[in-house]
Amino acid sequence: MSNNEKSKEIVIETYELCTREDNHLTKPITTVANFDRSVGISIFDAAYQANSAQEVLVQWLSDRKASTLKTYKAAMNQFAHWAVEPNMRSAAERLVLSNPDQFLAIMTQWVKDQKSAGLKPATIQVRLRAIGSYMGLAKKMGLIDWMASVPKIKRPKNGNAKDTSPVPAEDVRQMLLTAATRRDVIGGRNFCALLFMLCQALRRMEVFNLEMQHYERKKKRVMILGKGQDERVPWPLGNASQYFLDEWLEHRGDVDGAIFPSFHSARLYQPMHLNSVNKIFSDLARQAGIDGVAPHRWGRHTPASIAVTLSDPIAVQEWLRHADIRTTQNYLHAMDDKRVELSDGVADNLGLSELAAPGFIKNHFKSHISKSKPEESYY
């Protein structure tokens, strides 16, 4: 091979996905690539893309909410660990140096290994979306000229799927009566917390993370830390909610700490673990002979399904703090009875009900077209 021919060929490092017993990628495999972009990229291009990948990484992690930043870092670090890369920077470089087919193959194998490790589909999906977000920014900043496609994870439809239907009114009453059978301070906490969740349509974390300092009695509001938020925001209380809250706090006392606290000696007056909250619901449901009453179904789905029958969807969206109206629309099935009632009300108001008498249409109108009139008169 002549020197001229050698000058047209360079050695670049590419990564080939190989399956081993430890499910990691093999060490870099040295391959020969031509300057022709249909074959590969030059070493100079690779160096440029590596530096640019760091710029994209910095931009990707900038101006993010704390929760989003934590999620993105965790996803990239986990990918780096799986791909045997020393850090996030190297992992980011590796992603942008791949081509569409290589990227999809890497992501597919990563998903497969995570499933084998027993990770939940939701967790895998969060990681994939984070990587997809990084690659989307890389394309936006001109580092790659192709759209990165990440595999879609389908959650298995089985008996463990979340029940988004409201808890029936009779079951609500039965749960509350069961909670009231426990007459100590823990019973009082559980009873009032259940009522408070229902009346305010709050998530479990929003209720059980409330502390005494977050209740502003005179302003009739609490300062809640919403889903995905970094700061607490004021949230007005309904009359019933404030009544139940005041009754509970009079019983609880003015000790600093959580409003609905743990009474375990090791965590006295501290916020309850969310697993403990789940156990309260599962225990009460079991004692009441009811199936499938999870905190979210109790405190969100149930009041939401009632609210859409009482007000317009936009107002309900604001109350529930849904970012997308389509989330609120998931509860509109509860309006079916209301729609029937409204439809009948319109008919009655216009005096149309008498026209709905049995046989009126059949007896009043003929079942065939009269041949005595020109056919073109029918339209």
Query: Residue 367 domain-assigned?
Result: no
Looking at the structure, tell me whether residues 185 and 288 fall in a common domain: yes
- Contacts for 20-26 with beta carbons within 8 Å, 24 or more apart? 23/113, 23/116, 24/82, 24/83, 24/84, 25/82, 25/83, 25/84, 25/106
Q: Is residue 49 part of a domain?
A: yes
Same domain, yes or no, for 135 and 174? no
The answer to whether residue 148 is domain-embedded is: no
What's the confidence (pLDDT) of residue 54?
84
User: Which CATH number is 282's domain given?
Assistant: 1.10.443.10
Whole-model pTM: value is 0.50
pLDDT tens-digit profile, the chain (379 residues): 444 443 333 223 323 332 333 333 333 333 333 323 333 444 445 555 556 888 889 999 988 888 889 999 999 999 999 999 999 999 998 898 889 989 999 999 999 999 999 888 888 989 999 999 999 999 988 888 888 888 877 665 544 456 667 888 888 889 888 988 888 888 888 888 888 888 777 888 888 999 999 999 998 888 988 777 788 988 888 888 888 888 888 888 889 999 999 988 788 999 999 889 999 999 999 999 988 788 888 877 787 777 777 766 677 666 666 666 666 556 555 555 555 565 666 666 656 555 555 655 556 545 554 455 555 444 4
Per-residue pLDDT at 44: 44
CB distance 187 to 181 below 8 Å = yes
Give pLDDT, residue 113.
93
The residue out of 140, 161, 194 marking a domain boundary is 140
**Cα distances (Å, whole numbers) of residue 48 to 51, 52, 53, 100, 148:** 5, 6, 9, 19, 20
Residue 234 in domain = yes
**pLDDT value, residue 107:** 93
Q: Are residues 174 and 230 in the same domain?
A: yes
Question: Which structural domain range is residue 122 located in?
Answer: 17-27+38-140
Indicate if 122 and 63 belong to the same structural domain.
Answer: yes
In this structure, is residue 294 part of a structural domain? yes
Domain count, the chain: 2
Q: How many residues does the chain have?
A: 379
Q: SS3 string of the chain?
A: CCHHHHHCEEEEEECCCCCCCCCCCCCCEEEEEECCCCCCCCHHHHHHHHHHHHHHHHHHCCCCCHHHHHHHHHHHHHHHHHCCCCCHHHHHHHHHCCCHHHHHHHHHHHHHHHHHCCCCHHHHHHHHHHHHHHHHHHHHCCCCCCCCCCCCCCCCCCCCCCCCCCCCHHHHHHHHHHHHCCCCHHHHHHHHHHHHHHHHCCCHHHHHCCEHHHEECCCCEEEECCCCCCCCEEEECCHHHHHHHHHHHHHHCCCCCECCECCCHHHCCCECCHHHHHHHHHHHHHHHCCCCCCHHHHHHHHHHHHHCCCCCHHHHHHHHCCCCHHHHHCCHHHHHHHHHHHHHHHHHHCCCHHHHCCCHHHHHCCCCCCCCCCHHHCC
Same domain, 331 and 189: yes
| Domain-embedded: residue 159 | no
Residues 49 and 86 in one domain: yes
Considering the domain boundaries, does residue 362 fall inside one? no
Domain assignment of residue 33, yes or no: no
Same domain, 98 and 180: no
Q: Give dist(CA 185, CA 182) in Å, integer.
A: 8
